[in-house]
Amino acid sequence: MLYVTKSTVCLGWKVRSLLGEPISLPEAWCSSLSFSSRFNWSELIPMRLWGRTLGLQTENSQFLLEGMPFRIFGGSMHYFRVPREYWEDRMLKMKACGLNTLTTYVPWNLHEQTRGKFDFTQDLDLEAFLSLAAKNGLWVILRPGPYICSEWDLGGLPSWLLQDPEMQLRTTYKGFTEAVDAYFDHLMPIVVPLQYKKGGPIIAVQVENEYGSYAKDPNYMAYVKRVMLARLLISVFLSSIALATVNFQKLEPGVLKYLDTVQRDQPKMVMEYWTGWFDNWGGPHYVFDADEMVNTVASILKLGASINLYMFHGGTNFGFMNGALETDEYKSDVTSYGDCSIFLSFCITGQPLPLPPMIESKASYGAILLHQYISLWDVLPSLIQPVKSEFPVNMENLHLNDSSGQSYGYVLYETVIFGGGHLHSRDHVLWLFSYSLQQVAGWSAVPDYFVGPAFFRGRLWIEHQPQDTFLKLQGWEKGVVFVNGHNLGRYWKIGPQETLYLPGPWLQKGNNEIVIFEERTAGRIIQSVDIPYLGRTQYVD
Task: Report the candidate in 101, 274, 282, 127 with the shortest Cα–Cα distance to residue 192.
Answer: 127
- Name the E strands within 29-168: 56-59, 62-65, 68-70, 73-77, 101-105, 139-143
CA separation for the pair 121, 119 (Å, rounded): 6
CA separation for the pair 141, 149 (Å, rounded): 16
CA separation for the pair 394, 206 (Å, rounded): 33
**Which residue type occupies 163?**
Q
Rg (CA), the chain: 25
CA separation for the pair 504, 56 (Å, rounded): 39
In degrees, rounded to 5, the angle at the alpha carbon of residue 130 between the alpha carbons of residues 342 and 59 is 85
Q: Which of 112, 151, 208, 272 is catalytic?
A: 272
CA separation for the pair 67, 71 (Å, rounded): 13
CA separation for the pair 441, 352 (Å, rounded): 61
Report CA 472 to chain centroid distance, whole Å. 22
SS3 content of the chain, % helix, strand, coil (to 5): 20, 25, 50
Q: Which residues of 88-115 are buried (b: 16+ CB within 10 A; e: fewer)?
A: ebbbbbbbbbbbbbbbbbbbbbbbbbbb
From the DSSP assignment, how many helices (H) and strands (E) are in the chain? Answer: 9, 27
CA separation for the pair 156, 110 (Å, rounded): 8
Asked if residue 333 lies in contact with residue 152, where contact means CB atoms within 8 angstroms, the answer is no
Cis status, amide bond into 453, omega within 30 of 0: yes
Q: Which of 66, 88, 210, 513 is catalytic?
A: 210
User: In the annotation, is 272 catalytic?
Assistant: yes
- 143 forms bridges with which residues in the sheet? 105
Asked if residue 38 lies in contact with residue 66, where contact means CB atoms within 8 angstroms, the answer is no
CA separation for the pair 72, 70 (Å, rounded): 7
Q: Which residues of 170-184 are buried (b: 16+ CB within 10 A; e: fewer)?
A: bbbbeebbebbeebb
Q: What are phi and psi of 79, to 5 degrees?
A: -60, -30
Report CA 388 to chain centroid distance, whole Å. 37
User: In the annotation, is 498 catalytic?
Assistant: no
Which residues have C-beta within 8 Å of that of residue 252, sequence separation ≥ 6? none
What residues act catalytically?
Answer: 210, 272
